[in-house]
Structure 1
Amino acid sequence: MFSFFDSLVDSTASPPGEPPSGLRTFYWHFVRQAKGLFAALFVVGFVLAVLEAVVPYLIGRLVSILSSVPRERVFDAAGQLLLVMAAIVLVVRPLGTILFRLLVNHSIAVSFTTLVHWQNYWHVVRQPLSFFHDDFAGRLASRVMQTARPLRESIVSFVRAVWQILVFGATAIGLLGTQDIRLAAPMLVWFLLYGALLAYTLPKVQVRSRETSETRSAIAGKVVDTFTNIMTVKLFGRRTDDDT
């Protein structure tokens, strides 16, 4: 079973072209090579989010039935509802969670990440010699190996957080609104505040993340190049200079 999910993406597929410079086009350059996989991830995330919102609603209906019918008529009045809840809680939701984890932990975390690593290496190794003379070898290697993880985690985080929150919130607002619009108002206000928070913080996070990535790559490049040329460092370097 695991090998099936591991093989959904060809980890050594040839790149469709040179990676573009724009953020959205750069994402799409890699995502389009596994668009069926990410479409399945979105669908499974959608189903799980809807179930998260529907279960409390079904529990509310069950409580209403239990409080309004005699004990001997409980199974007659709520039998179908109990079967639906059992199917959701014991079958559909666990299977959906397992499928979601398999897609994330095997198809994406293993195969898709390896695909990005391989194509980054394929692209960098074909650059002219002057390209490598103008930068630290360790910094280039760090960039090749670092790109896949943020790319993968940002997409998965979007499905887990933003997508599921949007679906869960929209479903909850719809269910509460059918009972009384005042019940849906607090969640609607929360959505507006959450959207405003994202609009304020995401641009700042983007700038800080870029600066952090640049600094981390530069440090990794210097450390790797120091160890690569350790004979020269030991021969001509001084201990006080190494410590600074």
Structure 2
Amino acid sequence: MDESHHPAHVPALPSEPFAFLLHFFQHYYGWCVLVVVLEIGSSASSILTPYAIGQIVGGVTDSLTVREQIFSAVAFPLGLYLLLNLGEVIFSRAGASCRIVIAPRLRAQVTSELYAYLQHHSHRFLSNNFAGALASRISETSTSVNMTLWTLVFDFLPIVVTLTVSIILLWYASIPLSLFTLVWALLYLSISYWLARRCRPLAHKSAEARSITVGKVVDAVTNLASVRLFAMLGFERGYLESFLNNEIAASRRWLWSNEKILWFQFLLALTLKVGTLLFALWLWQQNQISVADFVMSVSLSLLIIGEVRNISRRFIDLFEYIGNIANGVGIIVR
């Protein structure tokens, strides 16, 4: 019999959230490295596409007077453009295929080990905690371990690759343009992280209010026969209405704070989009960059904006997943 499935076996689970994550990630180290490599390949292929487009435009511009030589002039950048698009598809789908292999197994392993650990708790512990609440903690923790891994790999890693490759490409095209993008990226990420930390309590309160309301609805439906028997239909509706109003208020506070974040993101994105265009246009006018570099710079700014636009939301999601893991580990792993 596998020792991990022996009735007397108690899994050695860490009681600290990040150690808990690493405990499970290390079982899939090879798979995780493969997914990271594939995701880097996908992101690099995507962000290098503007470079290929810029070279194509540069080749076309240089060959305007000899139109029959256009295809020979742009043969290499055109081939690069096709390879990059093909690479993006292959790398991204291969990474997604790996996720299909890993995700169910990872979630099942976390659930299995937490349940095995729970089996060896004292009778007093089991009596003092509702079975449904413990089951919910196990489910939330296993799901959050999964989502933390995929958020880091499929959300944050592409942003790091996108910004790094973009700044390198812009450095070779124009050092001032690369510095402008670097300062913008640092400012954007720093403020997004700060705003996400500030909004996290509001998001938590909104989710908590929604959870309480769902619980009250379940209780009300479960006891509907008794409510009818004692003619308390109006009272129950009013009682439920108070929780619904609390949920509405909490949700509005969270949504308004999220809207403020979106205003910030759109305004800063506009700064990069317009700033890069005007700055690159001025550099071209001063004969400091070529047409190819001009096209690449503007295209890169649009790709960067698309990649980082929802970064605050991703920060909030990551905080929530880690919080769920901390709660689950804090209750079950002692």
User: What residue in structure 2 maps to residue 82 of structure 1?
Assistant: 78
Aligned-pair distance for 1:65? Answer: 0.5
Q: 1:33 to 1:221 in 2, by over 3 A?
A: farther
Choose the corresponding residue for 1:188, options 182, 198, 201: 182
Aligned-pair distance for 1:132? Answer: 0.5
CA contact (8 A) 1:136 1:222 kept: no
Q: 1:87 to 1:146 in 2, by over 3 A?
A: same
Choose the corresponding residue for 1:73, options 69, 75, 100: 69
**Does 1:61 find its partner at 2:55?**
yes
Gapped runs of 5+ residues in structure 1? 1-12
CA contact (8 A) 2:41 2:87 kept: no
How big is the alpha-carbon RMSD for the aligned residues of Structure 1 and Structure 2? 3.4
TM-score normalised by the chain length of structure 2: 0.57
CA contact (8 A) 2:40 2:158 kept: yes
Choose the corresponding residue for 1:97, options 72, 92, 95: 92
Amino acid at match of 1:148: S
Gapped runs of 5+ residues in structure 2? 240-334
TM-score normalised by the chain length of structure 1: 0.76
Q: 1:205 to 1:26 in 2, by over 3 A?
A: farther
| CA offsets 1:206-234 (integer angstroms, 9 cap, x no match) | 6667778888889999999x8xxx8xxx8
Q: State the number of aligned residues.
A: 224
User: What residue in structure 1 maps to residue 40 of structure 2?
Assistant: 46
Aligned-pair distance for 1:188? Answer: 1.3
Q: 1:186 to 1:194 in 2, by over 3 A?
A: same
CA contact (8 A) 1:117 1:144 kept: yes
Amino acid at match of 1:24: F
Q: 1:54 to 1:71 in 2, by over 3 A?
A: same
Choose the corresponding residue for 1:147, options 138, 141, 147: 141
| CA offsets 1:107-153 (integer angstroms, 9 cap, x no match) | 23322112212222121122221110111111001001111212211
Amino acid at match of 2:26: R
**Does 1:200 find its partner at 2:197?**
no
Give the secondary-structure state (helix, strand or coil) at the position aligned to 1:191.
helix
Counterpart-to-counterpart distance in 2, 1:102 and 1:116: 21
| CA offsets 1:37-81 (integer angstroms, 9 cap, x no match) | 211121111111111111111100110001102222223222232
**Does 1:169 find its partner at 2:190?**
no
Q: 1:62 to 1:54 in 2, by over 3 A?
A: same
Identity %: 23
Give the secondary-structure state (helix, strand or coil) at the position aligned to 1:20.
coil
Counterpart-to-counterpart distance in 2, 1:122 and 1:79: 61
